[in-house]
Amino acid sequence: MDWVFFSLLSRALWAGNNIADKLLRDKHIPDSFVLTLVAGFATLLFSFLIIIFNGIAWLGITPVSLVLFAGAVQIVAVFAYYQAVSKDEISRVIPLFQLTPIFVLILSFFVLGEILTFNYYFAFLLILLGGFLISIRRAEGLFKLREAFWWMILCGLIYAVQIVILKPLYVNYPFWDLTAYLGFGQFIPTFILLLKPAFGKKLVKSLRELNLGGWIILVFSMIFAMSASVAGFWALVTGPVSLISVFRGFQSVFVLLYAVFFSIWLPKFFKEELDKKVLGTKVLAILLMGVGLYLIYV
């Protein structure tokens, strides 16, 4: 099951990107709009790199239009994600991506006609439950929605629509050609926004004021994001889209592991709250997700 390996690899890389993004948003570029514009340029650069090494073919008006649209709407999701990151600890924000699989499961059933076996549905529920357990926080005995919740609702819904659009495209058309067009689609809103001089000035000012440490983190964030996207899209070629989406739960696990590591060994670099009860709950969540992963392989 190559799609399982690439799904997990994608989540591990996205988790690295999440840590880098949290550092960027909190300490170097405290503006979600500027970071969104930077993300648009990063995808454009990636598309040009693909064309240099692979070339690009015309796939037809319908598939190209769909993939450009899927890329364009992602910019809205990226902005919502940066807003959510600014509102809470990264290990509490990322588990809210578990809302995405719910949207994907519904859309893939009605749009793609995708039906899973009982084992897969049970695995879906276990991994989804594990993802929610990681994100739980209590306030006066009640479950409390985080401030970042609504931003992540928007982000998750957009990513779900994108995944359902891209699944049949990646099955039927060349991988690298589609990925290049997707990057161009992601840049379209960036280009439109930059037609207004004020936005361009804000972007240039933020980048000019960025110190060496900020540039290093920004570059690593881009590398993690590009690599994670390629691994995730490759998984779409052979895997069921509902289960690939629920693998986002493992992203929460990787973020937690990275956050704990940095908080213990590099507290001046990165710091998060390490409460024993919270960690115990998250370990239970990891075990549930591990059982879900085993059921997929059985």
Q: What is the DSSP string of 204-239?
A: HHHHHT--HHHHHHHHHHHHHHHHHHHHHHHHHHHS
| pLDDT for residue 141 is more than 60 | no
Q: What is the DSSP string of 145-168?
A: --TTHHHHHHHHHHHHHHHHHHHH
63 vs 93, which has greater pLDDT? 63
Residues 6+ apart with CB under 8 A from 227: 13
The label of the residue with tokens 């037809």 reads 60
Two structure tokens written together for 171: 């099955």
Two structure tokens written together for 167: 């699944």
Two structure tokens written together for 258: 């990275």
The label of the residue with tokens 């719910």 reads 102
The 10s digit of each residue's pLDDT in 11-25 is: 899 888 888 888 888
Burial class of residue 53, CB neighbours in 10 A (0-12, 13-18, 19+): exposed
Exposure string (b/e) for 105-117, b if CB count within 10 Å is 16 or more?
bebbeeeeebebe
The domain spans of the chain are: 2-297
DSSP 143: E
* 65 confidence band (pLDDT: 50, 70, 90): very high
Q: What percent of the chain has pLDDT over 70?
A: 71
Exposure string (b/e) for 242-251, b if CB count within 10 Å is 16 or more?
bbbbbbbbbb
pLDDT for res 298: 53
Residue 104 CB-half CA count within 13 A: 27
Instruction: Select from 35, 163, 39 the least CA-distant residue to 97.
Output: 163
Read off the pLDDT of each residue in 36-54 and give the average, rounded to a whole number.
90
| Rg, the chain, Cα only | 19
Residue 210 is inside which H or E element, if any?
Answer: none
Partner residues linked to 143 by β-bridges: 138
